[in-house]
Amino acid sequence: MAFTMRAVKVPPNSSSLEEARKRTFDFFRSACRSIPSVMEIYNLYDVTTAAQLRSSIASQIRQNASITNPKVIDMLLFKGMEELNNIVEHAKQRHHIIGQYVVGNEGLVQDVGTKDLRASDFLKKFYSTNYF
């Protein structure tokens, strides 16, 4: 299936924001549908769950929630589709998936956030960087 998707031409631009929105939901659905096979291919059972992967995909889509230009949305959807294809085709390796979708942007050291509750703004910034 995946290899045939590559042959598919670039779809015509969305004519309106509504259409782009609909396509986004379609994309999210197709991504969710491929999660079980992704879990299988990359053997992710011991590091994550399907629900976590789903929320990770959703959060990446939500990062661009503010975009209203249908052309830009189309472009992002195209990129997302490419990424999905690459993952499903096993064009990536396990650590790519773990790094990007399981660990996420916060890095390996996850701050549970209980220690710094009483810390001032200064101290929080101090722990993360020298430049503030």
Partner 1 sequence: MGLGLLALRASRTSLLGRSSSAISRPGFESGNPNFNLVRWIISTPELQKPEAATASEPAAPPPPPPRTPVGGARVHIEKPEDAIEVFVDGYPVKVPKGMTVLQACELAGVDIPRFCYHNRLSIAGNCRMCLVEVEKSPKPVASCAMPALPGMKIKTDTPIAKKAREGVMEFLLMNHPLDCPICDQGGECDLQDQSMAFGSDRGRFTEMKRSVVDKNLGPLVKTVMTRCIQCTRCVRFATEVAGVEDLGMLGRGSGEEIGTYVEKLMSSELSGNVIDICPVGALTSKPFAFKARNWELKGTESIDVTDAVGSNIRIDSRGPEVMRITPRLNEDINEEWISDKTRFCYDGLKRQRLNDPMIRGPDGRFKSVSWRDALAVVAEAAHQVTPEEIVGIAGKLSDAESMMVLKDLLNKMGSNNVWCEGNGMNPQADLRSGYLMNSSISGLEKADVFLLVGTQPRVEAPMVNARICKTIRATKAKVGYIGPPAEFNYDHQHLGSGPQTLQEIAEGRHPFCSALLSAKNPAIIVGAGLFERKDKDAIFSTIESIAKQAKAVRSDWNGLNVLLLNAAQAAALDLGLVPESENALETAKFVYLMGADDVDLEKLPSDAFVVYQGHHGDKGVYRSNVILPSSAFSEKEGTYENTEGCTQQTLPAVPTVGDARDDWKILRALSEVSGLRLNYTTLGGVRTRISTVAPNLVHMDEREPASFSATLAKPETQQKMSKEDFGVAVENFYMTDAITRASKIMAQCSASLLKK
Positions touching partner 1 (CB under 8 A) are: 109, 115, 119-123, 126-127, 130-131
Report residue 29: phi and psi, to 5°: -65, -45
Compare residues 29 and 125 and give the one whose CB is closer to partner 1.
Answer: 125
**Rounded to whole angstroms, how far apart are CA atoms 127 and 29?**
39
Compare residues 68 and 130 and give the one whose CB is closer to partner 1.
Answer: 130
Q: How far is the CB of 41 from partner 1 (least distance, A)?
A: 35
Q: How far is the CB of 106 from partner 1 (least distance, A)?
A: 15
DSSP letters spanning 95-125: HHHIIIIII-TT-SS---SSGGGG--HHHHH
Compare residues 3 and 131 and give the one whose CB is closer to partner 1.
Answer: 131
**Token pair of 20 as six digits:** 């782009």
Q: How far is the CB of 119 from partner 1 (least distance, A)?
A: 7
Q: How far is the CB of 121 from partner 1 (least distance, A)?
A: 8
Compare residues 3 and 132 and give the one whose CB is closer to partner 1.
Answer: 132
Amino acid at 106: E
**Rounded to whole angstroms, how far apart are CA atoms 132 and 120?**
14
**Rounded to whole angstroms, how far apart are CA atoms 66 and 72?**
11
